[in-house]
Structures are given as C-alpha cells and as structure tokens.
Structure 1
Amino acid sequence: MALWTWGANSHGQLGLNTVSEQVEKPSKITIDFYNCEVKQIACGGGHTLLLDEDGRLFSCGWNSKLQLATENESHIFQRTWPLSGITFTNIACGWDFSCGVTDDHFLFVWGSNSHGQLGLPKEHFSECVKPVRLEVKASSVSMGLRHSAIINSKGEVWITGCGKYGQLGLGKDVTSLDRFTQVQNIGKMSHVACGQKHTVAWSTDENALYVWGDNKHGQLVLNTEKYNRIFTPQKIDIDVRQKVKKLLSGWTNVLLWLEDGTLYTWGRNNYGQIGASDSVGQKTLISLPDNRQVKDVALGSEHTICLATDNTLWAWGWNEHSNTGIQSKTDIFLPTLVPIDTKATITSIFAGSAHNFIVTNDDEPVDSESNPDSD
C-alpha cells in the first residue's frame, strides 16, 4: 500500500512532515505509520484523520480546537493515543471538529463546540473539547462548517449545531442546538450530507431527496428567488429511480452518485465545483471524457476528485491551493486528468476542504510518458 497526497498544507495536514501553503502535485507519503492498511480518511479545514483496517485512529494537521484528539499539532500521521483501545468503523470531520463511530455504533466527538456542533451542552463543555462518548448511536455521520448530522439504525436523522440558515431543519425558531435532536416529518433516510449552511438527505425507500437550509446558490435544487432558505425539510422528486451509492456535499454544491455510475451535481459553480461551464443550481449530468465509468468520487469544500474504472483520476473545481492536482493557475471547470507518477492501481480516494489523499496497492513509479492520457 502507498498513500499519496496534495493540496493545501498550511498546518501540515498532508502528513508529509512539512508545512507549506500547498503541495502542487500528488506526492507519496514516505513516513511509515505502523504499516497500517487504510480504511478511511476524513479531512477537515486543516486537519486529517486516518482510520486503519483494525479500527485504529491516526491524525495530523491543525489542532487549535483539539480536533486531532491529541494535545499537540502534528505534521505527520501519529497514533491518536487518547482513543486507543477503541475500535472505530467510521470517521468524519467538520471545519475544526471531528467524530468517530465505534464498532458498537456509539459516537465519540471532539474539537470545537462553539456552536453546539458536537451535541454537547455548551454550559457544561468548553469550546475546545477532548473526546467524549455520547449516549447516541449512529450508523452514518456527516459534519459541515458548524453543524453535524447522524442517521441511526432506524433511518432517523438527528442533528445539532448552528441553524441560522435553516440547516437544522427544525423551523425558523430553532437557530442553534447543543444536543442531537431528531429531524421531524421525514421518512427513513439512507444518506445524509452537511454543507456549509445546508443539509441534504436521501431516502432509498422513496427514491426522494430531502433538503433544508440555505439555497442562495441553488444547492437545494430549488428556485433561488422563490426559496432562499428552507427551515423545514422539503421532499423533492429529482427523477432518480435507482439506488444511490453516495450523496456528498461541498460548502455550496451537492453530488449524487448512482448505482449505474451516473453522476449528478448541482449548486454553486463560481469555481467550477459542479464540473460544468454553467448550469448553476440545476441538476447537471457529469460525464468523464471518452465515456469512462466512475469507480469512486470524493468532494472537498469546493472541488471534486473522481476515480475512473480505467485507473485514471479526474478533478474539477477550486484550484487556488492546487486542490485539484492539476498544474493551472485558474480553477478547473470540466473534468480534467490529474497527472500521477505511478502505474499502481488506485484503490480509494478521499478529499477535504482543500486537500486530498489517494491509496494505491503499491508504490512502483513510472515515467509519466507511459500514460497515454498524460498529455
């Protein structure tokens, strides 16, 4: 296994043992962190969590709010010892806060609780919180800028944090929560995703999208003039009649990856984050060049990376910190090939606010000229 990374690195969040404004192209991490096999990587605003196949947690990067669950900032992946002995199966990061789901489905939270986004009462917990196990069970979890949502085993959505724009979905009067509270008037949900100021959820049973929160940029697939903010969940039929593999959200854009490999995106497009030259706010079909099929996809705050079944990696969106890995001083508005100096098979991909990671099955380098698409 080899781990590659690129993008913003102002807090050492890439784990390369260096701090820099950015790393412009995919670079291999040579530091050996216990020879672990990567199961999942979650990225926040400037920090990174890594979960291995044994359920152990590692972290690096920004730690101003204790979002690493350790005492000090680290520029390499280090074992998160305060959480040793706990087996995690899923992890997530918000801007400066984090969480992990255990093998018995309990939720641990840590980091910033400035807006109640950890689900901990602010009168009893400081703004910076060391790991706490909540009496909350979660099957899946998503964290945004200042709010968090979980789905439990019943398919219920529970939510906490900032709700000024309706992102809690509990009505105009609920602008803030510091305890997880159930979202009402929605059915059994299979997916949930938190954006900057909005929330989206998918019901497999109903083949329907539920949306609430800020719609200034069409991230809720509704008319922006008529529906600027939605304070309670609205059910939308977006004419999808198959299973959803992933529902993902950036700050102001949303992506839906379907069972047959189809990608739909919508929302803000000022940086090209929906992968099209226009179509702001409208459901847009994204196609990779030469009819390539999608193997996996990951979203940062305003960029996307996408792995094709032919082992090529594509990216689009915000590129100020070389987020896409494409050598360009401008943002990338269409799916564009990411040059990677290896012929190893890419097995998984992950993205954060402005940084990325990919896992390959070995680290055999190869001259870039051997890639027929490299030019």
Structure 2
Amino acid sequence: METSTQSKFSLHTWGANSYGQLGQGHEEDQLHPGLSDTSPIQSKALRSVSGGGGHTMVITEDAEVFVCGQNHKGQLGLGHNEDISSFQLCHRLGQRVTEVACGWDFTVLLTGCGLVLTCGSNAFGQLGVGQTVTHSLDPLVVESLKEPMASVAAGLRHSLASSVSGQVYQWGRGLSSHAKRALSPHPVPLYLNSPVPSLVPGLDQKTSHKVAAGSMHCVCLTGDGDLFLWGSNKHGQLTSSEPFVLSPALMKRSLLGGEKVINVWSGWTHLVAQTESGRVFTWGRGDYGQLGQPTSASLDQDQKSGGPSAGDGNQRVCLPAEVEALRGATQIACGSEHNLAIVGGSLVSWGWNEHGMCGDGSETNVLQPQLVSGLKPLLIGCGAGHSMAVCTEMTDSSQNSAKIPLQ
C-alpha cells in the first residue's frame, strides 16, 4: 500500500499497552485514542504503521523505522532486549526499509533493494536464518533468499515473502504441528517445517502480488486478482471442508461476487478482502465480531442453509459475506481479532475489544463497524491487541493533495 502522510500529523494509539507499544510513555491500556509522543519522528512524512504481539513499527517516507513496545526477544532490532514505551529510531538497520510485518515476537522487514531482514525470536525458525540462532537483537539478512523480494508477511510463528518474479517463499515451523496431525503418517512438506526460506509449490504458473499470514494460515494474492489459501483451517477461514489445507488452493471468485481481488488482509483466524468494485468481504472466525457481520451471520452462530457458513460434522466451512458498510474503504487493517478501516474519510473499528482496541471507551466486543469519533485518519495500523491512526487537521485544499490512493 503506497500511502503516506503529509509532514504535519499526530499519531493516535489505543488498546493493549502492557509493554509500552502505544508509544505514550507509559504502560497502561487505553480505551480511547490518545496521542503518542512523536517528537523523535519530528515532522517526517509517514509511510506505514503496524504492530505485533506487543510492539509497534512506524516507517517514514524516507524509509527510516521508529519502534516501541515489547522487546524481550529483540523484536525491535535495537541491539538490546529492554522494552521501551516511547518511539526510538532503529538505527541498526543500515538499510532503507519500505515494508514491515510484525509477528508475535519477531519482525520481518523489506528493504528498498528487495532484501529481507528479520529480528526477534527464532524459536520456531521464523527468522529464516537457520536453527542455531535462538533469537536476534539485531536485524539479520535472510541470505538464502537469492532474488529481490516484493512483499513480506508474518504469522504467529511463521513468515512469508513473495519475490519480484512472483515466487512465494515460506519459513518457520508455526504450522508444522497442525500439518503433522492432519497428514499423519505422511511427512510434513519442507515449506511447512523449515527454518530457512523454502519455495511454496503449486504457484508456479501464477505471479504473486502480495502475501498475508494468519496465526497458522497463509494467503497469496496474485497479479490476476486471485486468492490462494493454505494452512490451518480450524475456523473455516480457508473456505474448505478440510481441517488443514496442505498446498495453495484457489479460492473461487464466485464466492466474492465473481470479481477480482485487489487487496487482502488477515487476522489470526479471519480474512478480509476487497474486490475491484470496492466491495469488502469477510470470512473465518467471527465470535468476537471480527467479521463485522450481523450477529446472525457469524460463523459460530449461523449454520442455516444458505447462510454465510455451512458444514457437516466437526469441520465448518465459512463462506465470505459482504460487509456493506465497508464498501469503498480506502484502507483496512487487521489485528489478531479486531479491525480498522477508513471509509469516506472516517475511521471505523470492529471486533475483539477486551483491551479497548476498538476505541469506543468500552471493553465490549464490537459486532459491526462503528465510527471512532474525533479523528481524521490518513494511515491506520493494528497490532495483535492495539490500534494506531495517523491523523491530521487538514484544510480542504491540503486534503485533496494528500497521497491516499484507493489501495
């Protein structure tokens, strides 16, 4: 997503803050959006904001990275393992960074020249640097990726990258236990159980445009506007009747109104996709309201014939349903079980709200998209249990010139 702010901005954060991931200089959860201390970032234009289990990453337009939050495994890439509650420049990168993906306790960074850097926990091989490293306080180059990468993604304990040539690579053992149970007595394929990047089969005739990751599933959006899904299907998020989808499976366009997909996002167990006409569909786990659909349409509450979810036995199949309130959204972000979107210039939130990450002052789950009042968002991002919005007080003329294209 090529979106950036103008130089005058304010960063609002809210939700879980046990490690200072809100960048507000303290460690108290916030039920309402509050101002982060952005003085270290000064007046730099921002490119993206994103978060992991307990850390936050901000990329500026000149490709610098500012970080805060949990750092016990070195996921902030600062060369130490102390948590910090105010943003600091990650000066140890030595590279211009254009994209970042935050896992639970690790980070994957993509540089302007297509290199992939990783830091944090490597307990499951999620850094892609082999098994001898347990964790890294400094960003490491994933040297076995021999061609430039164009997109990266981080799940709970696994990572993905797609190359400029359209190939998809996967590493980390986060899916291997589920795969082993599903495939027994057959062995688990290398790409589901490797501490270094392994080519994902089944996508050879496709050109990957973007990769995304859930806690234990994987997503590939192709340049043709198709979605391929694989991994754990415990909550029906892969639109299959199988408990585990071994290799990339094409999702039928008919499930999305017959349209091409232009963007896709993933929470831990749910997915959100936007089609070429601007329609937004959600599917997967819905018991926290993270699908943004009426209560009667959630996965765990509606098994009626013709509803958005159906299935026999223990394995349910969740079919995508459109969330009309999100049609035309210009940005969407997924946390673990909550979401943010910009629709018509306004910020909306929905889903899990135990730590106040929906920003409505309560800790009650939000079942359908609701307005987060008082903010004029330019950029949005989510961590597992916290939310971020870069906002500005703009005049009408400056608002028209801000770089906020539709995806």
Specify which of 144, 153, 157 is matched with residue 142 of structure 1. Answer: 153
Moved more, 34-43 or 65-74: 34-43
Q: CA distance change for structure 1 residues 110 and 304 in 2, over 3 Å: closer, same or farther? A: same
In 2, Cα distance between equivalents of 1:65 and 1:114: 10
Residue deviations 1:290-340 (CA, integer Å, cap 9, x gap)? xx631211110000111112x221111000000111233321111111122
Number of positions where the alignment pairs a residue of Structure 1 with one of Structure 2: 350
In 2, Cα distance between equivalents of 1:34 and 1:348: 15
Contact 1:318 / 1:332 at 8 angstroms: preserved in 2?
yes
In 2, Cα distance between equivalents of 1:234 and 1:346: 36
Q: CA distance change for structure 1 residues 144 and 361 in 2, over 3 Å: closer, same or farther? A: same
Provide the secondary structure at the position in 2 that maps to 1:288: helix
Specify which of 172, 189, 196 is matched with residue 161 of structure 1. Answer: 172
Contact 1:299 / 1:305 at 8 angstroms: preserved in 2?
yes
- Cα offset for 1:242? 4.4
Higher relative contact order (CA 8 A, sep 6+): 2
- Quote the residue 1:367 is aligned against: none
Q: CA distance change for structure 1 residues 5 and 363 in 2, over 3 Å: closer, same or farther? A: farther
Kindly indicate whether residue 191 of structure 2 is the aligned counterpart of residue 183 of structure 1.
Answer: no
Moved more, 297-306 or 194-203: 194-203
- Cα offset for 1:221? 1.2
Q: CA distance change for structure 1 residues 270 and 108 in 2, over 3 Å: closer, same or farther? A: same
In 2, Cα distance between equivalents of 1:51 and 1:267: 30
Contact 1:166 / 1:212 at 8 angstroms: preserved in 2?
no
Contact 1:157 / 1:183 at 8 angstroms: preserved in 2?
yes
Provide the secondary structure at the position in 2 that maps to 1:81: coil
Contact 2:289 / 2:298 at 8 angstroms: preserved in 1?
no
Residue deviations 1:98-138 (CA, integer Å, cap 9, x gap)? 02111111111111111111111113x23345211123231
Contact 1:139 / 1:150 at 8 angstroms: preserved in 2?
yes
- Quote the residue 1:335 is aligned against: 369
Kindly indicate whether residue 67 of structure 2 is the aligned counterpart of residue 49 of structure 1.
Answer: no
Q: CA distance change for structure 1 residues 166 and 200 in 2, over 3 Å: closer, same or farther? A: farther
Letter of the 2:393 partner, please give it. Answer: D
In 2, Cα distance between equivalents of 1:258 and 1:334: 20
- Quote the residue 1:29 is aligned against: 36
- Could you state the TM-score of these two structures normalised by the residue count of structure 2? 0.81
Provide the secondary structure at the position in 2 that maps to 1:353: coil
Kindly indicate whether residue 70 of structure 2 is the aligned counterpart of residue 77 of structure 1.
Answer: no
- Quote the residue 1:258 is aligned against: 275
Letter of the 1:215 partner, please give it. Answer: N
Aligned positions of 1:2-41 closer than 5 A: 2-20=10-28, 22-35=29-42, 36-41=44-49
Residue deviations 1:35-78 (CA, integer Å, cap 9, x gap)? 12211112000001111111111110000100001113210000
Q: CA distance change for structure 1 residues 67 and 30 in 2, over 3 Å: closer, same or farther? A: closer
- Quote the residue 1:372 is aligned against: none
Provide the secondary structure at the position in 1 that maps to 2:188: coil
Specify which of 348, 373, 380 is matched with residue 314 of structure 1. Answer: 348
- Quote the residue 2:324 is aligned against: 287
Specify which of 193, 202, 205 is matched with residue 212 of structure 2. Answer: 193
- Could you state the TM-score of these two structures normalised by the residue count of structure 1? 0.88
- Quote the residue 1:211 is aligned against: 229
- Cα offset for 1:238? 2.9
In 1, Cα distance between equivalents of 2:249 and 2:38: 47
Provide the secondary structure at the position in 1 that maps to 2:92: helix
Q: CA distance change for structure 1 residues 73 and 260 in 2, over 3 Å: closer, same or farther? A: same
Provide the secondary structure at the position in 1 that maps to 2:378: strand
Provide the secondary structure at the position in 2 that maps to 1:139: strand
Letter of the 2:392 partner, please give it. Answer: N
Q: CA distance change for structure 1 residues 79 and 363 in 2, over 3 Å: closer, same or farther? A: farther
Provide the secondary structure at the position in 2 that maps to 1:17: coil
More helix by share: 2
Structure 2: segments with no counterpart, 5+ residues: 1-8, 300-317, 396-407
In 1, Cα distance between equivalents of 2:387 and 2:218: 23
Contact 1:144 / 1:196 at 8 angstroms: preserved in 2?
yes
Contact 1:6 / 1:27 at 8 angstroms: preserved in 2?
yes
Specify which of 123, 128, 131 is matched with residue 119 of structure 1. Answer: 128
Specify which of 375, 381, 387 is matched with residue 356 of structure 1. Answer: 387
- Cα offset for 1:268? 0.3
- Quote the residue 1:106 is aligned against: 115
- Quote the residue 2:337 is aligned against: 302
Kindly indicate whether residue 274 of structure 2 is the aligned counterpart of residue 267 of structure 1.
Answer: no
